[in-house]
Structure 1
Amino acid sequence: MAILLLIASISWTPFQFNVPLIFLAVFHISLSIIHTYLLGKIKKANFDADNQQLFMKVLEIILVLGIVGGNVFTFLSGMMSLKKIPDSGFIYSLYMVLVDVFVIAITALNIFKPFVSNYFIPMLYILGFVFVFHIIFMIWGHRWYKWDRKVKLLTFIFLLLTATTGNILVLFVAISMYIKNKDLNGERRQTSIIEKLTRNQAALLGMLFIAFLITIAITSNYSFSESFAVENNYANILQPPSITYPFGTDSYGRDVFSRIIFGSQISLSIGLLSTFLPFFVGGSLGAISGFYGSRTDSLIMRFLDVLYAIPSMLLAITIVASFGASTTNLIIALSLGSIPSYARTMRANVMQVANYEYVEAARALGQSNWVLVRKHIIPNAMAPMIVRSTLTIGTAVIATSSLSYLGLGVEAHIPEWGNILRNGSQYLETNPYLAVYPGLAIILLVLSFNFLGDGLRDATDPKLN
């Protein structure tokens, strides 16, 4: 980060330095030195986590303050060092708070716009209040079980209500707290997938970016003014990045920053819907085919083989070109091409699980086929499907952006990342930032889902556990 900031601080034409960026680079270098020093201390055999020196505590607090400069890694390291026994609930609460910080910082940039949304100030107050509550819960949440029962219940309910802002990590915190409650009650259980995910830092960072995008996509409806993203302003054509327009303006004078924020709604919704539809349709067909077999299996799979023989991207282009470019047609086009692969995955899982002894025992007890499929087979065959869905959401986002780039996705005026990238690609030599920022958004979203999918695959793999 420091090297990138140092490079960004140099302007070659004319040759000069950006002093604020240099100070920020020095700040990150200082954090790296402190981080390396603390790491060396922790690696020593005589290190005692319970009895740390005051000097080390001060250094850990400085690492936590690295979030002011946007350094996520030192913040996480500092908080983990300050906590004697970090459980899964505390780890997820760290990322939950980080999402709040990023959303508030991005939302606050609207202050420099000529005007703001009518709901900007109330939404900023709501985000600030939620942030303070999450901070309090992160610090004192481990004492939640010692509180009065009514206070504990109200606190837990309010915590779940804060998830309505889109911060899905709140749900992971709540589930972790529920799991910890089982431990305190002396109930025996296996380590959950949510707990295993905390061992994969890449998966947690992917969840952080996904939760941030979902939250900003929901809150932007009230905190951002859509006019900057969709209305032409010929007085501000091709403005360079500034505090007012962080990503500059395009050839129509529209704010690229606002367009990317609103475009997250389209890209996320299309990516999720075009994954969940084949997940349920293909999963249902695969479960029926794998469980009943014989003629039912042959009929369903031969029909899906015909659909599978057509390349998914070619099928999507054909459907959109025939019925017109729209969000609905795009979701249907992307969903149809993915149904056979989901059906094949579910069929193989069901055929494997159906031969297990506990299924045979349930059948011997006289349980119906519907009960066998619903209670015993599908729940135990879902893990590979969930992993596959997280991996293919990124593919769906790329396909959406690719079709929009070709003019076959959503309507051209709608702020979707592929549309923004297509418009910006015409100015790669003169205004490269118009294409760089939407391209980075697509890359980060796809990588985040891939990291999460890899983490889920490792967490559900019995050989690794």
Structure 2
Amino acid sequence: MRSYQTNQIIEQLKFNNGLTWAYSILWLILSIELQPFSFSLPLLLIGAVNLGFSFIHQLLLYRVRQSAFRADRKTAVERSLAALMIFGIVTGNLFTFISGIMAFKKSLSTGLIYSIYMVLVDMMIIAVTSLNLFKPFVTNYYLVGLSVLIITLVYHSLILAFGQKIYSWNPGVQRIALGLLLLSGLTGNLLVFLVAASFYADNQPYSKGKRQTSIREKLTRNHAALLGLLFISFLLTLALTSTFTFSYSFAVQNDYANILQNPSIQYPFGTDNFGRDVFTRIVYGSQISLSVGVLATAIPLLIGGALGAISGFYGRQTDNIIMRLLDILYAIPGLLLAITIVAAFGASTTNLIIALSLGYIPSYARTMRANVLQVTNLEYIDAARALGQNNKQIILKHVIPNAMAPMIVRSTLTIGTAVIATSSLSYLGLGVEAHVPEWGNILRIGSQYLETYPYLAIYPGLAIILLVLSFNFLGDGIRDATDPRLN
């Protein structure tokens, strides 16, 4: 029978195998130029190199599927193949990098798996930020910001390489290492906190031989959820660091000398009909999309959750009053309500957040009410009453914490819906102001040039799709991790 770590490696390689082949074929397709028919030599070369890494990946997958393979006793050939795959990151192949490190390491842990994705976020941020070197000018803080990102990558790489040995370090050194790791999370890399929590938990005396029961540990089994978390962390880090590493003028100032430029090294996504850099506009658009999506989810989560908890716990007349009022709000379609509010009070980010939040409150209240009704019938609620605790203590200490799991899952899925709604309203001219670099605004301009300059609509459309898919993948992963029937 195979060990748990052996099965982890096999499942990861199986998941990444199809993706790395698809990534290689994508580069080959992009290398084709139709008018006149020819091939772009640089893109063709990248595709050919990725095909080589895909063959290595396929060969390693074949070897690990053999019954003799063991995660703790890899042969020299298997470790050599794994080491070669790590270099796939040079061509942007994230999948061979992940598979290579997992197959190369002698033992796997939750902290190690999150460390791989943490380092990938750093690499992606530095790669995107480095493109500004080809711009006519950079911000005053660009070199400082880029230096901080590089130092962060070096430190995170050391954590990836030696983090599993943290339990053998001096306690003072452990605290300093984890403190610096948490400090590096200020860049926006969410995976930093998961790595720190994992290494801290693994360093506890009771952790040896313990089953993986926490959501953080179970999430590592869902490879799609990890990819979603990777992209969300990447966008969040990019949104926070772009203030210091990207020049806002390229996103908003008109440059009539560079109108409708094709994608190039200076303008990776081309320029729009006002000469503005689409790449920089999409980067700054991530700030608005993420902030609106998170706030439009957090507000109904708090308000709807509180109303649902009160309604479900007290019941009777309180339940009837709250739920009937929310039914009135629920009867109005959410998008129509948002359009009405924005049309009445004007297009702005604040009005957009309020408009979207109001539409989500009834559904959150209903979800929380159903959870509370189920929890209040359990024995420990009666035990809390028998011990003399009042209703406020019971709700805050026992009811809400045990009814929050479905709400957390719902909130991750709602963020994706809010991002789509934000972009849809902006596309219609009812979202944020027209000059603001927001993905819906960028898509609206690009839709006017679908036949002549299709990339103006393709890139913002891909950004919206990837972000929504990432939140959906993460939400599905959290739902599976919290579902007792799957555990």
Aligned to 1:447: 469
Matched, 1:36 2:58: yes
Write out aligned runs for 1:40-439 (5 A). Answer: 40-184=62-206, 191-439=213-461
| d(CA) in 2 for partners of 1:183, 1:286 | 40
| d(CA) in 2 for partners of 1:185, 1:318 | 54
| d(CA) in 2 for partners of 1:63, 1:168 | 26
Inter-CA distance 161–391: structure 2 relative to 1 (3 Å threshold): same
| d(CA) in 1 for partners of 2:206, 2:81 | 33
Alpha-carbon shift at residue 373 of structure 1 (Å)? 0.8
Specify the code of the residue in structure 2 equivalent to 1:382: M
**RMSD of equivalent CA atoms:** 1.2
Specify the code of the residue in structure 1 equivalent to 2:142: F
| d(CA) in 2 for partners of 1:433, 1:339 | 37
Aligned partner of residue 198 in structure 1, secondary structure? helix
Aligned to 2:11: none
Specify every segment of 5 or more residues in structure 2 that has no aligned partner in the other structure, as ranges: 1-22
| d(CA) in 1 for partners of 2:119, 2:427 | 35
TM-score with structure 2 length normalisation?
A: 0.94
| d(CA) in 1 for partners of 2:71, 2:189 | 32
Alpha-carbon shift at residue 39 of structure 1 (Å)? 0.8
Specify the code of the residue in structure 2 equivalent to 1:315: L
Deviation string for 1:54-92 (max 9, x for gaps)? 232221111011011111111111000011221111000
| d(CA) in 2 for partners of 1:160, 1:200 | 24
| d(CA) in 2 for partners of 1:87, 1:259 | 39
Alpha-carbon shift at residue 22 of structure 1 (Å)? 1.1
Specify every segment of 5 or more residues in structure 1 that has no aligned partner in the other structure, as ranges: none
| d(CA) in 1 for partners of 2:207, 2:85 | 36
Alpha-carbon shift at residue 37 of structure 1 (Å)? 0.8
Paired residues, number: 465
| d(CA) in 2 for partners of 1:301, 1:187 | 48
| d(CA) in 1 for partners of 2:418, 2:410 | 12
Structure 1 runs of 4+ aligned residues shifted over 4 Å read 183-190
| d(CA) in 2 for partners of 1:187, 1:439 | 46
Alpha-carbon shift at residue 303 of structure 1 (Å)? 0.5
Specify the code of the residue in structure 1 equivalent to 2:83: I
Greater CA drift, 147-156 or 239-248: 147-156
Aligned partner of residue 392 in structure 1, secondary structure? helix
Greater CA drift, 168-177 or 400-409: 168-177
Aligned partner of residue 429 in structure 1, secondary structure? coil
Deviation string for 1:326-368 (max 9, x for gaps)? 0000000000000000000000000100111111111111111
| d(CA) in 2 for partners of 1:373, 1:137 | 41
Deviation string for 1:211-239 (max 9, x for gaps)? 00000000000000000000000000000
Paired-residue identity, %: 64
Specify the code of the residue in structure 1 equivalent to 2:120: L
Specify the code of the residue in structure 2 equivalent to 1:153: R
Deviation string for 1:291-330 (max 9, x for gaps)? 0111111110011000000000000000000000000000
| d(CA) in 1 for partners of 2:209, 2:404 | 25
Inter-CA distance 70–189: structure 2 relative to 1 (3 Å threshold): closer
TM-score with structure 1 length normalisation?
A: 0.98
Deviation string for 1:240-291 (max 9, x for gaps)? 0000000000000000000000000001000100000000000000000000
Alpha-carbon shift at residue 411 of structure 1 (Å)? 0.1
Whether the 8 Å contact between 2:326 and 2:362 is mirrored in structure 1 is yes
Alpha-carbon shift at residue 10 of structure 1 (Å)? 1.4
